[in-house]
Structure 1
Amino acid sequence: MSKFGLFGKFIVQEGERDNMVDILLEAAESMRNLEKCEIYLVSVSEGEPHTVYVHEVWSNEKAHQDSLALEATQTLIKRAKPIITGMERICTLSIKGGKGLIS
């Protein structure tokens, strides 16, 4: 049951973290009906006021790539780009199982 996972980090302009969180939560909502998107978590750390983390789990890497071409995703990317000062793909993961995943 290997799945494709991503753990990423967005660094945003001062005062824009909450805006970025809202944009990413909209992205999560837009993927609610995508069966191949199993987990899309948006998180912040109080010690990092300019950083937002995203943890994604997909049925496979192609499903993730396909999601980037969706009109809703492209619209959200356009909204987010002006406030992003840096991005880092912390790692890609081969998910082996656990609570919360669709088998």
Structure 2
Amino acid sequence: MTFVNAGTLGTLPGRRDELVALLTRRSDLLPQLGCSLYEVGVDADEPDTVFVVEIWTSAAAHAESLRHPEVSAAIATARPLLSGVFGGFRFEVSGSPLRDG
């Protein structure tokens, strides 16, 4: 079942654009791991926050991706930019009016 992870990542003051640049680097690996969508955005009203929405083939695929060496390295690179303030939600997709099934 399709799994969605949507969240916010708080950054240290003035480090938001660095995190956006890191998170938006081209990755041919993510689709191989089961990620079908990974969107990164910002809001002018929240200058130290990055918004991320991910769609995965399953919650298990998402969890397994976090153990991949390349993903682990990217997380380690991002960690010094983060303030430790996180938010968001996760859910299994039940359906959509945009497609059958």
Output the TM-score relative to the length of structure 2: 0.84
**In the alignment, which of 64, 82, 85 is matched to residue 83 of structure 2?**
85
Shift of 1:86: 2.1
**In the alignment, which of 59, 62, 66 is matched to residue 68 of structure 1?**
66
Q: Over alpha carbons, which structure has the higher Rg?
A: 2
Amino acid at match of 1:49: P
Decide whether the 8 Å contact of 1:8 with 1:87 is kept in 2. Answer: no
* Distance in 2 of aligned mates of 1:31 and 1:45: 27
TM-aligned CA distance change 1:89 to 1:59, over 3 Å = farther
The residue number in structure 2 matching 1:25 is 24
Shift of 1:31: 3.6
Number of aligned pairs?
A: 99
* Distance in 2 of aligned mates of 1:91 and 1:51: 16
Written as runs of structure 1 = structure 2, the 5 A alignment for 1:1-103 is 2-26=1-25, 29-34=27-32, 36-95=34-93, 96-97=95-96
Output the TM-score relative to the length of structure 1: 0.83
Identical aligned pairs, as a percentage? 26
Decide whether the 8 Å contact of 1:30 with 1:72 is kept in 2. Answer: no
* Distance in 2 of aligned mates of 1:89 and 1:59: 22
Q: Secondary structure at the match of 2:43?
A: coil
TM-aligned CA distance change 1:88 to 1:19, over 3 Å = same
Any unmatched runs of 5+ in structure 2? none
Any unmatched runs of 5+ in structure 1? none
Amino acid at match of 2:48: H
Q: CA RMSD in A?
A: 2.2
